[in-house]
A = this chain, B = another copy of it.
C-alpha cells in the first residue's frame, strides 16, 4: 500500500478551513492522516485548571493549559511530514507563528494559508514555507500533487 502522509493543521480555529481540507482529501481519496491541535477554544484555554487544581492567578491558569496543550502539539508536529499553518484576520495567532518556527527548525515542509493582505506581516513565516496558499482547495491540490503526482 502507498505511504501515508501525516499533515498537521496549525493555526486559526474559528473558520472551517480544516473541514474543507478534510473534505478535499477524502473526496480525492488521498492517503493522508490529518492531525491538529485541540480546536475547542474553551477547552484549550481551561484544560489546565479543569484537570489539575484551579489557579487564582490568570497567568498560571493560562500557563498550565498551554503546557498541557504543548504535549499534543509538539508530539504531532514532530510526527508530521507537512505542517500547514493558517492565519486568519482575527486574533494575534502567535501560537501559529510559533508552530511554524518550531516546524522550520525541525526541517518540516511548511505550507502557509492566508489572505494576500497579510503578506507583508507574514513575510518571515512565508519565507520558511514551501508554498503559500490563499485557499484550502490549493492546499488539497498541493497534497494531491505531492502524494499522487497529479
Which A residues have a C-beta under 8 Å from some C-beta of B? 3, 5, 33, 35, 38-40, 43, 47-48, 51-52, 55-60, 62-76, 79, 81-82, 87, 91-107, 109, 111, 116, 119-128, 130-133, 138, 141-142, 145-147, 149-150
Contacts and interface: CB of A to CB of B under 8 A. Distances in A.
A14 to B, nearest CB: 14
B51 A145 contact: yes
B120 A58 contact: yes
A100 B125 CA distance: 12
B58 A60 contact: no
Contacts of A106: 105
Nearest to A143: B71
Which of A67, A119, A122, A128 has the most B CB atoms < 10 Å from its CB?
A: A67
Contacts of A52: 131-133, 138
